[in-house]
Amino acid sequence: MGGFLLFIGLAVLAFGLYNMMAIKRVLAAPFKKTGELAKNPVSEDPKGAMSTEGKVIPPATQLLSPCTKQPCLAYEVKIERLYEKTETTQDGTKTVKGSETLDTVKGGAVFGLDDGSGAFNIDVSKGADFDNFKDGFKKEINGHSGSSHITFGEYTYDVPAIGSDRGWTIGFKATEKYVPVEGNLFVLGKLEGNSIVKPGWRSMMTSAKGREGLLGSLEKKKKFSFIGGGVAAVLSIPLMIFGPKADPNALGAHCPSEMTDVRLRCSNQVTDDDIYTWTVTKPGKYELTVYAPAKKVPFDPGLIITDSSGAEIANVAGGVGNNAVANVDVKAGTYKLKVWPADNYKVKGGYSYEFEIASVGGDAAPAVADPLNGEGEPKAEDVAAAPEGDAPPPADEPAPAPAPAPAKKKKGKK
């Protein structure tokens, strides 16, 4: 919980930082009246940045939105394909619906801004960020068009070739947005000739709120983002320190990329292959098992073990729906474990599985030295090493009988 809260806090703080940078950009760019620019189109900024604002003057060449033929300063039309496709996961085969963007058609005009001191050209034909888009058109066409052309309002779109691997088409959708030719506008871009255009190094900024209104809006977003993100980040600290922590070695936990010696059963998901690093500090015999869960589309688990030189010491496959088990006798060192679909059959989202490493015995106990030389004769070195008086008797002489125990005295009356 603490980690999630920290992630949210950092994301909100990043949004606040974005707004702070936008504020700095607006404040850093030279700001001049439209009439002053018309008389002397020069920027003091090394890169030619310039900003101005004023009432919108309609473009000399009218720009019309494609679908509704609405007079505008800019438009954007997104064309989507609606489809169905069959997907196979470990839980079975099903039909899913989805959409994909085929194209986004954009356009912009050359228009004027006038704050009362004289008009100056603004060119958004190469794109700009607007905060005053209006919805102009939205329509779905069901069914696959028999023609390569489909019509949305007044706009005809040429459908590209679509491969069968992308599912079968069940319809198309168009969404049109446009910027109306009205009101006042603040613009920040690059001064180029007698126009402000999109800079080559970043986006062109426009706002129907005006310069001061835009700065106020950005400042408010920055303030609340920093406060909210900061509070979330601070609250996450005690949760991370004092909150319950998941044991990475606990039964059922997610399998870590690095394991040492034995490992309780953990879980993971595999699409192509999973590679683990296995460090053995206690040499001996181990049993490594990949468990295949009961699913509608069963998993054929494969397990390959290689040593540090790349030599393969085990390569097992469980068979469809069965477990893969490898028994190895390994030395101390580092090994690579590869879990993969042994039959190379893949499903969307991959297969879930469980993995376990168990010890089934250490090194064999060292052999005990035989005091006889395999033929009933004592080894010379053993005789020499034996303490005086404790040498073993010759093989052909019986060992002396043990001394009898002293007789016990009977108790009697005096």
Domains located in the chain, CATH noted: 33-200 (no CATH), 258-362 (2.60.120.380)
Q: Which residue has the tokens 């590869």?
A: 338
Res. 93: pLDDT tops 60: yes
145 or 344, higher pLDDT: 344
Per-residue burial over 40-51, b = 16 or more CB atoms within 10 Å of its CB, e = otherwise: ebebeeeebbbb
Closest by Cα among 321, 309, 308, 316 to 338: 316
Strands (DSSP E) found in 271-400: 274-280, 284-291, 301-306, 312-317, 324-330, 333-341, 351-362
pLDDT, residue 368, reads 35
> Tell me, what's the pLDDT at 6?
80
Handedness of CA 105, 108, 109, 110 (dihedral sign): negative
Q: Which residue has the tokens 């835009």?
A: 214
Q: Please determine, for residue 370, whether its predicted confidence score (pLDDT) is greater than 50.
A: no
Triad 207, 210, 215: Cα angle to 5° = 85
- Whether the pLDDT of residue 274 is over 50: the answer is yes
pLDDT tier at 243, thresholds 50, 70, 90: low
Q: Residues of 353-372 as b/e, b for ≥16 C-beta within 10 angstroms?
A: bbbbbeeeeeeeeeeeeeee
Whole-model pTM?
0.72
Choice among 61-65, 252-256, 333-337, 394-398 with the minimum mean pLDDT: 394-398
**pLDDT reported for residue 384:** 41
Through-space distance between the first and last CA atoms of the chain, rounded to whole angstroms: 91
What are the b/e assignments for 271-293, b being 16+ CB within 10 Å? Answer: eeebebebebeeebebebbbbbe
Span 165-209, pLDDT tens digits: 888 999 999 999 999 999 999 999 999 999 999 999 899 999 999
State what percent of residues in the chain have pLDDT above 70: 84
Fill in the DSSP letter of residue 369. P
Amino acid at site 370: D
Q: Model confidence at 5, in pLDDT bands (50, 70, 90)?
A: confident
The average confidence (pLDDT) of the chain is 86
* Per-residue confidence band for 373, with pLDDT thresholds at 50, 70 and 90: very low
> What is residue 145's predicted lDDT score, i.e. its pLDDT?
54
Residue with the larger pLDDT of the pair 399 and 136: 136
